[in-house]
Structure 1
Amino acid sequence: MKTNSLQYKLWMSGTGLFLCFFLVIHLLGNLQLFLPPDRAREQFNWYSHLLAGNIIIEIIAYVLYASIIGHTVYAIILTVKKSKANGTKYVYDKRGVSSVWYSRNMGLLGTIIFLFLIIHFKDFWYQYKFTNLPLDAKGNKDLYTIVEKAYQQLWYVLVYEVALIALGFHLLHGFFSAARTLGVFHPKYVRWVKVVGWVYTTVIILGFMAMPVYVYLNSL
């Protein structure tokens, strides 16, 4: 059981780190949304077309899909195993003394993120891949207009922000957990691991949170 659990944790760490790398690339690509609207439309649609027509990017995309599914499945398996191993819960639960609240609620945070991913893929990825979007002046699919219309809705922006807050706590726990699993969370390096984890999470989350707010405020 211990061997299987370690293997699952290693796979969780591997898929998680790949997803962390993808978030950096995704953030850098989406920074074009901060350009003036006309230029943002041209640049963002060109960027989307470039990604869709590149075989290497297509391969990475399939790795991404597999990583999301694998990460979710391994998380469920580990949660079930941990639940069985813990056995009967005691009346006096003092886990909060030794662990932060988001570490004890990864199931809830993961569920919020997974549901948001379904919405996110449906509204953007699915529409780009499988619907006949209008073309922009350069002849590229006008994904920018879809993004713009989505972020002009306050309820959508709020859902997006809540999901990103959940993702932020998920990243913090996952980053430190992966460091322990991979043997990096050593007393000599623990301070730097924490600093890198907090800096990475803060930059990623604030960067993504700013995008829908920026588009929404510009639409008022």
Structure 2
Amino acid sequence: MKSAVIVFPGSNCDRDMAVALTKITGNKPLMVWHQETDFDTVDFIALPGGFSYGDYLRCGAMSAKSNIMKEVIRRAEDGVPIFGVCNGFQVLTETGLLPGALMRNANLSFVCKDVKMTVANNDTMFTADYAEDEEILIPVAHHDGNYFADENTLDTLEGEGQVAFRYNEDINGAQRAIAGITNKRGNILGMMPHPERMIEPALGGSDGRKLFTSVMNRLS
């Protein structure tokens, strides 16, 4: 599987993502700078975590307008799998590729710890290797991870099976404990927790690995 990691000024999880993709796929990803306008054909695009543009204006708002995102949006519309983690999830909502918004954590504090989550839908290209309702342990590290959407949007997400992951405890005030969602087509996933940081026992667990193998198996 050929992949690319989009790098913005202020990204700080791009290397974590690159290491995970290299170890799991056997291929080093392209590291694509935000000022680029194009890049080689790939099977998978990741938007990493961090604090792009220092989180000025709104988290992800400035990155959503960067040169490279025009190409990412085009490829998303062509069906290429897009995965946004933490700040990457915020960018996806700011571009409109995913609905809703990520607001300041309800307790107004940065949260950084391993959290238990449930796989809410294992019938997606990102979650197929997980069991239905499987409980997994994945790290979070964010200040603006409180997922918000209007009630109609939330009902649609629930009804269409677009809620991919839920927190098992109140981490940030997210509505309906939503930790990650997909688009209707199913080729875009955004989530606040960091599965790339849990891919092998040496990191404290490997529950994040199945997300990447799910995509690999779907594309093979």
TM-score > 0.5, shorter chain as reference: no
Greater Cα radius of gyration, structure 1 or 2: 1
Could you state the TM-score of these two structures normalised by the residue count of structure 2?
0.27
Larger RCO of the pair (alpha carbons < 8 Å, separation 6+): 1
More strand by share: 2
TM-score by length of 1: 0.27
